[in-house]
Amino acid sequence: MADESTARRNLRESQILSRKIELLLDVMVTSEGRQFEFNDIAAALASRGVKLSRTRWHHLKVGDLTVRQPSEVITALADFFQVDTDYLLKADGDVPERIQHELELLAAMRRAKVKEFATRTLAEVDNETLDAIAALLDDSKQY
């Protein structure tokens, strides 16, 4: 029974790490404005003397790698993304301010894309309806 709870806890921790990595990959971009890819991250970690294989990266991203304590890879990833190791490994806790700002910007950009799409798609709809749709999208940022 204790082994089962340990296995569940390990799975939960690996899934937390997976979600945090996906979030960081979603909001962080390179200096050229593109999303980071495996090769970018592996090269940055290699420059710190940490090897990240494509297989391990896959397991980290999908959340099926047991995380018992911050390994050198996790510590290097935290350094790479400029976040605390605790942020990567714990479900609760504050989102770093920089990441929160990036999330807000990303959400605003996505709402703008939806507005643009709705405007083009619903071109034959009256302006009042389009304004109502835009207001709904603006209100959605509160959630």
Domains of the chain by residue range: 1-93, 94-143
Q: What Å distances lie between residue 5 and 9, 15, 62, CA to CA? A: 6, 15, 20
How far, rounded to the nearest angstrom, does the alpha carbon of residue 89 sit from its chain's CA centroid? 13
**CA-CA distance, 18 to 15, in Å (whole number)?**
5
Of 59, 21, 23, nearest in space to 41 by CA: 21
CA angle 108, 111, 114 (to 5 degrees): 155
Q: What is the DSSP letter of 28?
A: -
The whole-number average pLDDT for the span 21-41 is: 88
Cβ atoms of residues 54 and 60 within 8 Å:
no
What is the model's pLDDT at position 126? 74
User: Which pLDDT tens digit goes with each residue over 75-101?
Assistant: 999 999 988 888 888 887 667 777 767
Question: In CATH, what is the architecture of 1-93?
Answer: Orthogonal Bundle (1.10)
Where do we find the tokens 């404005």?
33
Is a pLDDT exceeding 80 seen at residue 106?
Answer: no
pTM of this structure: 0.65
Query: Of the ranges 50-54, 61-65, 86-90, 98-102, which one carries the lowest mean pLDDT score?
Result: 98-102
What is the model's pLDDT at position 143? 45
What is the model's pLDDT at position 33? 82
What is the model's pLDDT at position 111? 74
Is a pLDDT exceeding 90 seen at residue 48?
Answer: yes
- Decide: residue 88, CB within 10 A, 0-12 exposed, 13-18 middle, 19+ buried: buried
To the nearest whole number, what is the mean pLDDT of the chain?
Answer: 79
- The DSSP bridge partners found for residue 35 are 29
Band of residue 103 on the pLDDT scale cut at 50, 70, 90: low
Of 89, 65, 67, 92, nearest in space to 78 by CA: 89
In the chain, the percentage of residues whose pLDDT exceeds 70 is 76
